Amino acid sequence: MENTTPAPAAPPATTAEDKTVAIVAYLTLIGFIVAIILNANKKTKLGAYHLRQVLGLILTRIIGYICLVILMVVLAVVLFFMKSLVILLVPLIYLAFGVFLLVCFIMGLVAAINGQMKPMPVVGPLYDKWFGTAFD
């Protein structure tokens, strides 16, 4: 007696259109808006996934820089007499945050180019959770 259970279905292959939406989403804010329009015309899982990742990255950038400005003001007030420490500390914090955003952006873009639904490091799983059904 042979086992006649069918083999599991292969994941759907990504098409050029799927990758286009995913890649365009990473190309500036205008690209993000264009990708939303492209995805609205023909919904794809890959495109929707990367739109959610980019939306999270955009919001992280905005909220993160607002928090950094507040931190800078607080540090300037608290460390008023240690201006040299503030002058050194603030640019280092900005640089670290900017490098983090750049790494997330590059890893997301590479995943989009490869047609993978791979989350960005650290924050990607949070974006999946927060924006789970957006753009579907």
Dihedral of the CA atoms 71, 76, 78, 84 (nearest 10)? 120
Q: Which residues of 126-135 are buried (b: 16+ CB within 10 A; e: fewer)?
A: ebbeebeeeb
pLDDT score recorded for residue 3: 55
Token pair for 66: 């607002």
Query: What pTM, to 2 d.p., does this model score?
Result: 0.78
- CA–CA dist 48, 1 (Å, integer): 45
Give 35's contacts (C-beta < 8 A, 6+ positions apart): 21, 22, 24, 25, 47, 50, 51, 54
Token pair for 108: 């997301």
pLDDT score recorded for residue 11: 47
Tokens 């259970």 found at: 5
CA angle 25, 30, 32 (to 5 degrees): 20
Reference 117, options 25, 29, 33; nearest CA is 25
Q: Which among 4-8, 11-15, 21-25 has the top mean pLDDT? A: 21-25
Contact 14, 46 (CB under 8 A): yes
pLDDT score recorded for residue 55: 92
- CA–CA dist 68, 73 (Å, integer): 9
Per-residue model confidence as pLDDT tens digits over 57-71:
999 999 999 998 888
